[in-house]
A and B are shown apart, each in its own frame.
Chain A
Amino acid sequence: MATFLVILHGLLAVALLGSITHQAVAVVWPSRSKIGFANAYRAVSSRVYVNANIALFIAVATIGGVVYPTYRVWIRTYLENARLFSAVGSFEVKEQFISIGLGLLPLYWLVWRRAEPAGQSARTAVTLMLCFIVWFSFIVGHILNNIRGLFGL
């Protein structure tokens, strides 16, 4: 069951990664032209990603929370015995970032709900912060999931 949930967690994380990266690029580097792949990628309506990103973030974090005990009991103990403290620390940082990201979701929803000029900097900042959190968490999770192969353990 834990294996199934980890795979589902990873697949939803891929969807979230693509969605929030697409939105973040469109926010910081918008384009009016849709000619060519790069312009078309940047020319999307950022607002349409908001609800999907919120739902995916909550789903990924919830499934992560369900499989977390397996990591805490078995994987972390293994990593500590292998003296891979950087790997353990990376997961700890990921855990805190995800929590902060959960707290940011209401603000993310609010700043995208209305296109008020007063909220423009917050809109950009919150989107980029969530994008960073998702990328950081995805990379850390991916490395930990494959750590035995990566470190030849």
Chain B
Amino acid sequence: MNNNQIEKLVPVFSAAFAFIYIVSVELNWALFTYHPKIGQWGWLVEPSRDGPPMYWYGWLVTSTLGASAVSVITWPLLKNRPTQYWLGWTVPLLVMISVFYFFRDFFLR
């Protein structure tokens, strides 16, 4: 796989990253949990040990691994097609718009 071929995976990675990220946030698919008050880490989603748990780092890792996997899996479909630049920004744009919907409760209280 040369550089030109790897470049075809980049828009897919960005699109998949955004999509998997927002799904991870909504369904809480964190690969690990950080407990900031006591400075401890735990695998997957853990309830609070002491103080509020943080899942953001876990969501980022889930999304990175997931998007990498999607990029590799879709490679046979993409290798003979032109680079799908549009995919890489339209999906993240839709996800950004959806963020306001998913977090609307904070602004409607």
Contacts and interface: CB of A to CB of B under 8 A. Distances in A.
B36 to A, nearest CB: 3
Interface stretch (A24-32, A51-59, A116-124): A116-124
**Closest 4 interchain pairs by CB?**
A89-B106, A103-B17, A69-B36, A122-B85
Contacts, number: 104
In which size bucket is the chain B interface?
A: 35 or more
- Report whether over half of chain A's contact residues are helix, strand or loop; otherwise say mixed: helix
Contact of B10 (A69, A110, A121, A125): A110
Interface in B24-55: 25, 34, 36-37, 51-52, 54
In which size bucket is the chain A interface?
A: 35 or more
Nearest to A96: B99
Interface of A: 65, 68-70, 72-73, 76-77, 85-86, 88-90, 92-93, 95-97, 99-100, 102-104, 106-107, 110-111, 118-119, 121-122, 125-126, 129, 133
